[in-house]
A and B are shown apart, each in its own frame.
Chain A
Amino acid sequence: METLGHLAHGFSVAFTPVNLMWCLIGTTLGTAIGVLPGLGPALTIALLLPITYQVAPEASFILFAGIYYGAMYGGSTTSILLNTPGESATIVTALEGNRMARSGRGGAALATSAIGSFVAGTLGTLGVAFLAPVVVKFALSFGPAEYFSLMVLAFITVSAVLGSSSVRGLTSLFVGFVIGMIGVDLQTGQPRFTFGMSQLLDGVDVIVVAVGLFAVGETLYMASRRYAGKDEIVPLRGSLYMTAAEWARSWKAWLRGALLGFPIGALPAGGAEIPTFLSYAIEKKLSNHKEEFGTVGAIEGVAGPEAANNASAAGVLVPMLTLGLPTSATAAIMLSAFQSYGINPGPMLFMTQANLVWGLIASLFIANIILVILNLPLIGLWVRLLKIPAPQLYAGILVFATVGTYGISQSPTDLVILYLLGGAGFLMRRFDFPTAPVIIGMILWPLAEAQFRRAMTISNGDWSVFYKHPLSLTLLTLAFIGLVGPHIWAYVERRRRRGPEHVPGDA
């Protein structure tokens, strides 16, 4: 097996003391920011982007991947003990996990989610190692037209198909497009959307956008909601050792969750919400303890979704590494880290940067082992982090936000943009607009434009390349179905439901 040879080489990269240290720092930091409400992996990696000027690419990607995986582990602790899901993907974990904690089985809930994360994370990483080379072989036949159509499909899936409203999702995406186009057009040298300001010629840094939306916006939102009632921390009770019965109920749920999460995460649609909700529904259906769901908390309802969440997080890395297609805010920011090294993710990455790719994949296996140790025996440490009072936590986040943005340019203009985006982030949070499409849109739109121009240059300005190539046509058709399909479906449903209303005496 070719892959095993590559993996062995990857481990030789990841096992150097320096890279092990980066992995340990990343996983520890990742768990911490996953536990703390208000901080997420996208924001943290954005703040740490300046590190790409200082260290080798292997080191910074091992660090970022550790943060990415660690945040998934840490987020479940908060969901279980505090019932405030840090990320949308852990909403489902909070459903049963918090009930288990309230009925004195918090220890078992934390254990099943940490071990489940380990099992699913390891399976998911194996999936990346074996699936990525296959996708690479396939992707080598892609031309610019196919890449453009694939990006269109990803735009639709991340904004219109996932989430509560396609119009709001697309609005966020287009706001990202506008931000992404600010600055000098690389191909023609023309300044665009700069409003005549020289400070905008270099464009708006993804750090400023991520920090504005995620840190400043979140802080304003939390400040505005002091009347919403406080979440209390459920004290950690119950042994962390799972009983034989709990193991028996958990392991199948882990495997099912992982099998569900990885493929969905690896699609160019991404998103952990769908697999976690699906896993929850399946576990509820298959469980012999249905009475525990929604009452005292069922362990399957924690084990399955938590595994699905981690496996899909691993799956997201497949389109990111093989196609250069980020499908989450965190992946988009990692893509901009690649750009800052002058590396273009895509099929060639596996040949030109074998050290980096396989070292990264190997380090993910190591990260999983470190994380299960950090999150089980050392769980008490992280629980203590939850006790940081909100005022100091959010004020502290903004101090770091200032360092991260003002530090890159020392320009007050950046701070003005940061706070304006913070205001926008508040409105988006308050009025239910998703924020991830903004980041994905701003990173991917200029790349889509480049592929579009390349395709048009090759075809001598003939638009038909996009629908004459069968693969490109398929991708565009899928995108169209993704955009229109749900609306037609809703319309048909409404028509169907309107039927029985006419039955007399029904009201």
Chain B
Amino acid sequence: MSTSDQQAARPRLAVPELLIGIGLLACAGAVAWQTLAIPVSPLYSKVGPTVFPYITMFGMTILSLLLIVAALRGGWQPEEEKETPTDWKAMGIVAVGLVANLVLIQPLGFTAASVIMFVLICHGFGSRHPLRDVLLGLILALAAYFGFARALGVNIGAGFIENQLNTVLDSIIRMLRA
């Protein structure tokens, strides 16, 4: 129930936990900065737009200080997590996949960007069949695109693949109607 459960063991500075605490303190600082930036109109003197932001700022500050204290006392990571080394390479490749998607989705359209992301994430997870993954990714992305875009009416960025297929689909529909 408390962050000091591992206090009984040797108190030792836990660097990752300390960084998290400091990061959250920085967030609290950003909240403070943004709260001070809210203009308060004198018309709303009772409960203005800044009351709840101040409460949030106050809470965040206290909590991040408590987390920093817990980090100084040895941190709170579960033993099982500590013992498992992090696979930075796999995570890195997955992250590259995400960034690729972000950068490519506008120039190439949803499907092409998704296939690239799909293949990279599969690779990160240890799949060594890039060709099969391209095919699978293409099928999934098209299913997702037409499932969402056409059935749910959600407008996803269309690129050359979608435009080609949309033209084909529309002409098929026109042929069926005729």
Q: State the A residues within 8 Å of B (CB).
A: 50-51, 53-54, 164-168, 170-171, 174-175, 177-178, 181, 185, 187-188, 190-195, 216, 219-220, 222-228, 389-392, 394-396, 398-400, 402-404, 406-408, 410, 412, 415-416, 419, 422, 426-427, 430-432, 445, 448-449, 452-453, 456-457, 461, 486-487, 489-490
Nearest-neighbour CB distance to chain A for B81, whole angstroms, equals: 6
Given the known inter-chain contacts A395-B122, A399-B140, A399-B144, please indicate yes or no for A178 contacting B60, CB distance below 8 A.
Answer: yes
How long is the Cα–Cα vector from A426 to B88 in the complex, in angstroms? 13
> Are A410 and B16 closer than 8 Å at their CB atoms?
no
> Are A224 and B90 closer than 8 Å at their CB atoms?
yes
> Are B121 and A403 closer than 8 Å at their CB atoms?
no
Given the known inter-chain contacts A395-B117, A406-B110, A486-B1, please indicate yes or no for A456 contacting B47, CB distance below 8 A.
Answer: yes
> Are A220 and B95 closer than 8 Å at their CB atoms?
yes
How long is the Cα–Cα vector from A222 to B155 in the complex, in angstroms? 30
Nearest-neighbour CB distance to chain A for B72, whole angstroms, equals: 14
Asked if B11 is at the interface (CB within 8 A of a chain A CB), the reply is: no
How long is the Cα–Cα vector from A301 to B41 in the complex, in angstroms? 60
Neighbouring B residues of A185 by C-beta, 8 Å: 49
Given the known inter-chain contacts A181-B56, A391-B125, A400-B144, please indicate yes or no for A168 contacting B34, CB distance below 8 A.
Answer: no
Neighbouring A residues of B3 by C-beta, 8 Å: 165, 167-168
> Are B52 and A445 closer than 8 Å at their CB atoms?
yes
> Are B155 and A407 closer than 8 Å at their CB atoms?
yes
Q: Quick one: closest A residue to B77, CB to CB?
A: A431
Asked if B74 is at the interface (CB within 8 A of a chain A CB), the reply is: no
How long is the Cα–Cα vector from A178 to B61 in the complex, in angstroms? 13
By secondary structure, the B interface counts as helix
Given the known inter-chain contacts A178-B27, A403-B144, A431-B17, please indicate yes or no for A220 contacting B152, CB distance below 8 A.
Answer: no
Binary CB contact string for chain B from 135 to 178 against chain A (1 if under 8 A, 0 otherwise): 01100110011001100111111000000000000000000000
Asked if B67 is at the interface (CB within 8 A of a chain A CB), the reply is: yes
Q: Which 8 A-B pairs have the closest CB atoms?
A: A391-B125, A407-B154, A391-B127, A395-B121, A391-B122, A185-B49, A486-B1, A223-B90
Q: Quick one: closest B residue to A51, CB to CB?
A: B152
Given the known inter-chain contacts A223-B91, A395-B122, A419-B102, please indicate yes or no for A449 contacting B1, CB distance below 8 A.
Answer: no
A-B pairs with beta carbons under 8 Å apart, 25 shown: A164-B1, A165-B2, A165-B76, A175-B27, A185-B49, A187-B49, A188-B44, A188-B49, A223-B124, A227-B87, A391-B122, A398-B101, A399-B140, A403-B145, A403-B156, A406-B105, A415-B101, A419-B98, A431-B16, A431-B20, A432-B77, A432-B81, A448-B52, A452-B52, A461-B47
By secondary structure, the A interface counts as helix
Nearest-neighbour CB distance to chain A for B167, whole angstroms, equals: 20
> Are B102 and A171 closer than 8 Å at their CB atoms?
no
Given the known inter-chain contacts A51-B152, A181-B53, A452-B47, please indicate yes or no for A406 contacting B157, CB distance below 8 A.
Answer: yes
Given the known inter-chain contacts A165-B2, A171-B63, A227-B87, please indicate yes or no for A190 contacting B38, CB distance below 8 A.
Answer: yes
Complex partner residue of B98 from A171, A175, A422, A430, CB under 8 angstroms: A422
Neighbouring B residues of A222 by C-beta, 8 Å: 125
Nearest-neighbour CB distance to chain B for A29, whole angstroms, equals: 12
Nearest-neighbour CB distance to chain A for B162, whole angstroms, equals: 12
> Are A166 and B52 closer than 8 Å at their CB atoms?
no
Binary CB contact string for chain B from 96 to 108 against chain A (1 if under 8 A, 0 otherwise): 0111011001100
Complex partner residue of A216 from B35, B40, B98, B106, CB under 8 angstroms: B98
Complex partner residue of B110 from A224, A402, A416, CB under 8 angstroms: A402
How long is the Cα–Cα vector from A457 to B56 in the complex, in angstroms? 21
How long is the Cα–Cα vector from A195 to B27 in the complex, in angstroms? 13
Neighbouring A residues of B144 by C-beta, 8 Å: 399-400, 403
How long is the Cα–Cα vector from A69 to B46 in the complex, in angstroms? 44
Neighbouring B residues of A426 by C-beta, 8 Å: 91
Given contacts A224-B91, A403-B145, A432-B81, 9 further A-B contacts (CB under 8 A): A50-B152, A165-B1, A174-B56, A174-B59, A227-B84, A402-B114, A407-B156, A410-B157, A453-B46
> Are B125 and A410 closer than 8 Å at their CB atoms?
no
Complex partner residue of B63 from A170, A187, A489, CB under 8 angstroms: A170
How long is the Cα–Cα vector from A389 to B106 in the complex, in angstroms? 30
> Are B59 and A190 closer than 8 Å at their CB atoms?
no
Nearest-neighbour CB distance to chain A for B42, whole angstroms, equals: 12
By CB atoms of chain A within 10 A, which of B46, B47, B60, B76 has the most?
B47
Task: Identify which of residues 118-134 in chain B touch chain A, using a CB-to-CB cut-off of 8 Å.
Answer: 118-119, 121-127, 133
Neighbouring B residues of A410 by C-beta, 8 Å: 155-157
How long is the Cα–Cα vector from A457 to B31 in the complex, in angstroms? 26
Given the known inter-chain contacts A403-B144, A406-B105, please indicate yes or no for A226 contacting B126, CB distance below 8 A.
Answer: yes
How long is the Cα–Cα vector from A3 to B149 in the complex, in angstroms? 41
Given the known inter-chain contacts A167-B70, A219-B121, A490-B2, please indicate yes or no for A449 contacting B52, CB distance below 8 A.
Answer: yes
How long is the Cα–Cα vector from A453 to B52 in the complex, in angstroms? 10
Given the known inter-chain contacts A190-B49, A219-B94, A220-B95, please indicate yes or no for A487 contacting B1, CB distance below 8 A.
Answer: yes
Nearest-neighbour CB distance to chain B for A132, whole angstroms, equals: 30
> Are A224 and B155 closer than 8 Å at their CB atoms?
no
By CB atoms of chain B within 10 A, which of A224, A452, A489 has the most?
A224
Neighbouring A residues of B70 by C-beta, 8 Å: 167
> Are A166 and B117 closer than 8 Å at their CB atoms?
no
> Are A174 and B60 closer than 8 Å at their CB atoms?
yes
Binary CB contact string for chain B from 1 to 36 against chain A (1 if under 8 A, 0 otherwise): 111000000000000110010001001000100110
Nearest-neighbour CB distance to chain A for B146, whole angstroms, equals: 10
Nearest-neighbour CB distance to chain A for B99, whole angstroms, equals: 8
Binary CB contact string for chain B from 70 to 85 against chain A (1 if under 8 A, 0 otherwise): 1000001110010011
Neighbouring A residues of B149 by C-beta, 8 Å: 407
Q: Quick one: closest B residue to A188, CB to CB?
A: B49
Q: Quick one: closest A residue to B61, CB to CB?
A: A174
